[in-house]
Amino acid sequence: MRVPLDGDEANNNGNWRWIGSVGADPQPAFRRIFNPTRQQERFDPDGTYVRRFVRELRDVPDEHLAKPWTMSHELQGKVG
């Protein structure tokens, strides 16, 4: 718990196991796939969290923030 900036022991322990498909519950693996793109689009649509904690994406335009690899090479160079 010394490394995560938003660490919470009770929450992280269960979630990390669940995402890693080593949870104790009988859920099929396809229900455990973590999709960071979808999470960002649903829960951080304006990019407040992403821009704060992923500095490399700070200057990425909103329309590309969840999928920065869709930017042109020119735009990638412009935003660093």
State the Cα–Cα distance between residues 72 and 13, nearest whole angstrom: 38
Main-chain dihedrals φ then ψ at residue 57, nearest 5 degrees: -100, 5
Share of the chain above pLDDT 70, in %: 81
CATH 1.10.579.10 fits 9-79, yes or no: yes
State the Cα–Cα distance between residues 79 and 6, nearest whole angstrom: 26
Interval 18-51: pLDDT, tens: 777 676 666 676 666 778 898 999 999 999 999 9
Residue 73: pLDDT band (50, 70, 90) is very high
Judged against a pLDDT cut of 90, whether residue 69 lies above it is answered with yes
| pLDDT of amino acid 15 | 75
Domain extent listing, the chain: 9-79
